[in-house]
């Protein structure tokens, strides 16, 4: 296969000599996308410093608990990571989505250690949006994370029950209201007492991930970890 399709880095396009398997990132792109050593608040994924985080939790999360229990991210939605997330929305960038999923899985197993979740739930995509784009990048991302961690994916566990505007098209103050009560859980999945891993590409206000969390917790999930490729920081 390597002779027919010589492997190239899925982000920068450089040639990968003697590359075997996935992820298809060169060493410098892997380092670029994994903010190893930068502390992130485990409650909301905001980057902090050893001084601003107490017990790995930021002041905001100490004052106000969020619906989810933990957030894992590769880094801040900025620079190359932002470019990668934007490219991941294109139908032609499936190898980039899969490779990013494998990096996110590595981050998860490093941070969660032996406390890996029981199942993966992707943040759903509106049917109309999926048709327009021709791909469901978050679904593919979730599949790649799940396969790497050897976890089941509950693809249709959470669905939209009404139409919503695109979160990124709205000002921050309207985003919570836009997704409030937008989701419902499918009754056929028994997730009682489970630790669920909710996957999305980017998280900014946390409103969407929060609503999905509320739905899976109402269906009986005991714990929810949210994993996103990038954490958008509010300006």
The footprint of Zn ion (CB under 5 A) covers 9, 11-12, 26, 29, 41, 43-44, 46, 58, 61
Please give the sequence-ordered ranges of beta strands (E in DSSP) within the chain, or none if there are none.
70-76, 119-122, 158-160, 183-185, 195-203, 223-231
Min. distance of Cβ 65 from Zn ion in angstroms?
Answer: 10
Min. distance of Cβ 8 from Zn ion in angstroms?
Answer: 8
Q: What is the DSSP string of 71-98?
A: EEEEEESSHHHHHHHHHTTSGGGHHHHH
Min. distance of Cβ 52 from Zn ion in angstroms?
Answer: 10
Residue whose CB is less far from Zn ion, 58 or 197: 58
Residue whose CB is less far from Zn ion, 29 or 154: 29
DSSP 195: E
Buried b (16+ CB within 10 A) or exposed e, 198-214: bbbbbbbbbbbbbbbbb
Residue whose CB is less far from Zn ion, 26 or 76: 26
- For residues 93 and 11, what is the distance between their CA atoms, to the nearest angstrom? 9
Min. distance of Cβ 198 from Zn ion in angstroms?
Answer: 16
Residue whose CB is less far from Zn ion, 54 or 218: 54
């Amino acid at each position: 296969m390597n002779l027919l399709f010589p492997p190239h880095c899925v982000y920068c396009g450089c040639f990968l000599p003697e590359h075997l398997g996935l992820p298809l990132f060169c060493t410098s792109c892997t380092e670029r996308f994994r903010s190893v050593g930068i502390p992130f608040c485990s409650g909301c994924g905001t980057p902090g410093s050893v001084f601003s985080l107490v017990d790995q939790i930021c002041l905001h999360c100490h004052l106000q608990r969020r619906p989810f229990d933990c957030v894992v991210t590769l880094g801040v939605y900025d620079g190359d990571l932002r470019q990668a997330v934007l490219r991941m929305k294109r139908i032609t960038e499936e190898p980039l989505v899969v490779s990013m999923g494998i990096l996110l899985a590595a981050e998860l197993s490093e941070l969660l250690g032996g406390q890996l979740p029981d199942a993966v739930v992707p943040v759903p995509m509106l049917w109309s949006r999926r048709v327009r784009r021709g791909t469901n990048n978050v679904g593919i991302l979730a599949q790649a994370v799940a396969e790497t961690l050897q976890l089941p994916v509950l693809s249709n566990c959470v669905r939209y029950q009404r139409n919503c505007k695109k979160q990124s098209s709205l000002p921050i103050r309207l985003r919570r209201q836009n997704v409030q009560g937008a989701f419902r859980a499918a009754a056929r999945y028994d997730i009682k007492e489970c630790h669920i891993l909710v996957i999305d590409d980017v998280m900014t206000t946390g409103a969407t991930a929060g609503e999905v969390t509320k739905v899976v917790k109402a269906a009986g999930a005991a714990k929810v970890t949210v994993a996103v490729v990038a954490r958008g920081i509010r300006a």
